Amino acid sequence: MDINERFQLAKKDYEKLGIDVEKALEKLSKVKISIHCWQGDDITGFEVEERSLSGGIDVTGNYPGKARNPKELRMDLEKALSLIPGKHKVNLHAIYAETDGVAVDRNEIEPKHFKNWVDWAKKMDLGLDFNPTLFSHPKAEVATLSHPDEEIRDFWIEHCKKSRNIGEYFGKELGQPCLTNIWIPDGYKDIPSDRLTPRKRLKDSLDKIFEEKIDEKYNIDSVESKVFGIGLESYTVGSHEFYMNYAAKNNKIYLLDAGHFHPTEVISDKIPSLLLFNDKVALHVSRPVRWDSDHVITFDDELQEIAKEIVRNDALDRVIIGLDFFDASINRVAAWVLGTRNMIKALLFALLMPNDELKKLQEEGDFTKRLVLMEELKSYPLGDIWNYYCHINNVPIQDEWYSIVKEYENEELSKRK
Ligand code: RNT
Ligand code: ZN
């Protein structure tokens, strides 16, 4: 039986549950995932000065083939994108500026340093998102936007302002808004004697950063919270409550990273609450293993729950889905492809559920049938619908994409020293 025949049969199964499969695929095709560029080079970037990764995050592994320059990074992204169904966005960090060998400090970055990315995005029909980089820099050793020294704070405020202008440039050039996301590593290793003052300074810095009004047609802003980092175990200035309140009061988007909460706390449960009070919510979908380890996302329970909360609350256009994982112990192109395909597949899984029926069962108190249906759906022929979706989007089905990545590894990645 070929892909089409299997699709037709599978469709019948879902139709019995009242699901319109074609409509689900149509919806899925409109979803853009923001694919983070930093999986390709272990968050190294292209700055002229050699700087090691800081900020309490870590990339482990030394699988060969890490991208060493913009040309390689874009080439690797192109390979990954050719194996992922749909049209998406690429998420950049400020450290991916191209400055022609000239040292340009973070407070001096300009749109022109991202022209190559924009030209490439146009050629590839991609959107771009952006992040100021407030780590891996000598001025970020102690703190950034909450630093006690005003001069250092101003440096980082300027960096964030410049970043928003770059976001605006992306939006204008590419005809779709850029999400510019602020994450800072500020915090303390040990018990603080004052939790309020650094937060006051962060609040004040953010107010300054957002003073300039930028048309939301071009740039939208988000703020990302965290609970701890390596070396910052006891206190994080930009905590969950801090940013959730800041975003709500200032009309900014709150960004939930799946790895930034306590080990048994999940972001899926937070999505509906945020949707009730905000027009938009942003995500960094990641997979924490015992800590914020940023493993490649798998098709696990939490990924499915995240997708379900987006889909059944009809929020595919209100939840901005970004990915944030970085594994250097496996083929980096494979990591991108696998993680992004899993995200899309999880959305498809959620789209192929009788969500109205399931809600009704809960309202009626029929928890037995609710559980039965949710469990049985796990072995419905999702794979046949997924293969068909890949097929009509001209990308390989099942694990067939892997041999293409392997070939790319043999011919390209393995030759990088
Ligand atoms: C760090 C945050 C942040 C970074 C990227 C590189 O814990 O998740 O989003 O991963 O900005
Ligand atoms: Zn993140």
Strand partners, 80: none
**Is the CB of residue 184 below 6 angstroms from any atom belonging to ligand 1?**
no
Sign of CA dihedral 348, 352, 354, 358: negative
C-beta 224 within 6 A of ligand 1:
yes
Q: Which of 66, 113, 284, 308 is catalytic?
A: 284
Which of 324, 325, 326 best tests ligand 1's pocket when mutated (most atoms within 8 Å of CB)? 324
Cα-to-centroid distance, 400 and ligand 2 (Å): 30
Nearest residue (by CA) to ligand 1, atom 10, is 324
- Tell me the pLDDT band of 188, cut-offs 50, 70 and 90: very high
Query: CA-based Rg of the chain, rounded to a whole angstrom?
Result: 22
* 226 ligand 1 Cβ < 6 A: yes
Pocket test for ligand 1, best of 284, 294, 325 (most atoms within 8 A of CB): 284
Q: Is 292 a known active-site residue? A: yes
Res. 200 pLDDT band, cuts 50 70 90: very high
Is residue 150 over pLDDT 90? yes
All residues at 6 or more sequence positions from 144 whose CB lies less than 8 Å from its CB, including other chains = 134, 135, 152, 153, 156, 184, 185, 186
| Catalytic residue from among 41, 186, 294, 409 | 294
Q: Which ranges in 313-354 belong to alpha helices (H)? A: 332-351
> 280: number of CA atoms within 13 Å, CB side?
17
pLDDT digits (tens, 9 = 90+) for 38-97: 999 999 999 999 999 999 999 999 999 999 999 999 999 999 999 999 999 999 999 999
Average pLDDT over residues 13-36: 98
For residue 358, pLDDT over 90 is answered with yes
> Does ligand 1 lie within 6 Å of residue 34's CB atom?
no
| pLDDT at residue 294, rounded to an integer | 98
Between CA 85 and CA 83 the distance in angstroms is 7
Whole-number pLDDT of residue 299: 98
Contact partners, residue 27, CB within 8 Å, separation at least 6: 316, 351
pLDDT at 417: 84
* The residue to which tokens 């559980």 are assigned: 371
Which ligand ends up closest to the CA of 36? 1
Question: Which one from 117, 183, 336, 401 is the annotated catalytic residue?
Answer: 183
Nearest to 254 by CA among 237, 241, 236: 241
Neighbours of 209 (CB within 10 A): 22
Closest CA to 285 of 312, 328, 320, 244: 320
Residue 130 to residue 374: CA distance in whole angstroms: 37
| Residue 183, ligand 1, Cβ within 6 A | yes
Task: Please report, for residues 112, 274, 404, 415, the alpha-carbon distance to residue 337 in angstroms, rounded to integers and kept in the order given.
Answer: 30, 29, 11, 21
Q: Which ligand is nearest to the CA of 163?
A: 1
Which of 66, 137, 226, 280 is labelled catalytic?
226
* Angstrom distance (rounded) from CA 274 to CA 222: 13
User: Is the distance from the beta carbon of residue 270 to the nearest atom of ligand 1 less than 6 Å?
Assistant: no
* Secondary structure class of 329 (helix, strand, coil): coil
> Which residue has its alpha carbon closest to ligand 1 atom 3?
183
Mean pLDDT for the chain overall? 98
Asked if residue 292 has its Cβ within 6 Å of ligand 1, the reply is: yes
CB contact at 8 A, 80 and 340? yes
The per-residue pLDDT for 217 is 98
Distance 324 CA to ligand 1 centre (A): 7
- Supply the residue whose CA is at minimum distance from atom 11 of ligand 1: 183
Distance CA 65, CA 72 (A): 10
Pair type for strands 281-285 and 235-236: unpaired
Identify whether 110 is a catalytic site residue.
no
pLDDT 10s digits, 310-356: 999 999 999 999 999 999 999 999 999 999 999 999 999 999 999 99
Confidence of residue 35 (pLDDT cuts 50, 70, 90): very high
Instruction: Report the pLDDT value the prediction gives residue 1, as an integer from 0 to 100.
Output: 79
Dump pLDDT digits (tens) for 312-324: 999 999 999 999 9
**Model confidence pLDDT, tens digit, residues 250-299:** 999 999 999 999 999 999 999 999 999 999 999 999 999 999 999 999 99
299-308 burial string, b = 16+ CB within 10 Å, else e?
Answer: eeebbbbbbb
Sequence-distant (6+) residues with CB within 8 A of 132 are: 93, 94, 106, 156, 159, 160, 162, 163, 180, 182
Residue type, 104: V
Q: Where does the pLDDT of residue 405 fall: very low under 50, low under 70, confident under 90, or very high at 90 and above? A: very high
The residue whose C-alpha atom lies closest to atom 5 belonging to ligand 1 is: 324
Q: Give the strand pairing for 127-131 and 89-93.
A: parallel
* Burial classification of residue 238, based on how many CB atoms lie within 10 Å of its CB (0-12 exposed, 13-18 middle, 19 or more buried): buried
